[in-house]
Homo-oligomer: A and B are copies of this chain.
């Protein structure tokens, strides 16, 4: 007989009470010690279950005030940002990429500003077209701060994609990510084999290491792309 009261079971049972309406949004639920008695387990087990539900945005907890069901339950979605290679290969297609640009040049002002680079300062510009089988999949347009990643200048992005190279050569860091929609420019359209003006799903990512921008990347997906996740 397996253990009856894992924290997973507690999570399920609590979720069930919420979904059944027994504990409606806003309701205060019993305290940890009471639940521990009721379910016949340690308080630590209850704590872990409730903590994870709180992390998921389903519960809200405050010391002394207790735990209540969130009024705005569907609040957090966790997106996986896969390597493009993986994403393509998981769809069953073959991933290839073509290096379109790889040279030092002066980034557009808005990108320089976002990266905190002085105007007119050159950076490494790498543009890569990713393909699923023989169809364009997405266009990766990347600027790399040469001060932070000087080794990148001599890397061979034709064999290993810039993204994969960075992941393997630059330590983990913080940053911001944005999702937006843009009309395809003439150049985008040509490269992605799309109609000019087509709505493209765009992901922009700025990566920093200790305050300093390492790389700014804009990935524009082919028309029709959907980024999905469960909630």
Contact = CB atoms under 8 A, between A and B. Distances in A.
A201 interface: yes
Nearest to A22: B171
Nearest to A83: B72
Copies in the complex: 2
A205 interface: yes
Contact-residue size bin, chain A (C-beta under 8 Å from the other chain) = 35 or more
Contacts of A172: 15, 18-19, 25, 58, 69-70, 73-74
B19 A209 contact: yes
Contacts of A2: none
A180 B181 CA distance: 8
Nearest to A176: B230
Given A76-B79, A81-B76, A231 B176 contact: yes
Given A72-B82, A75-B81, A75-B82, A25 B168 contact: yes
Given A24-B171, A183-B183, A183-B199, 14 more contacts: A19-B172, A19-B209, A72-B82, A77-B81, A77-B177, A79-B79, A176-B230, A178-B227, A178-B229, A179-B226, A180-B224, A180-B226, A181-B200, A197-B197
Contacts of A159: none
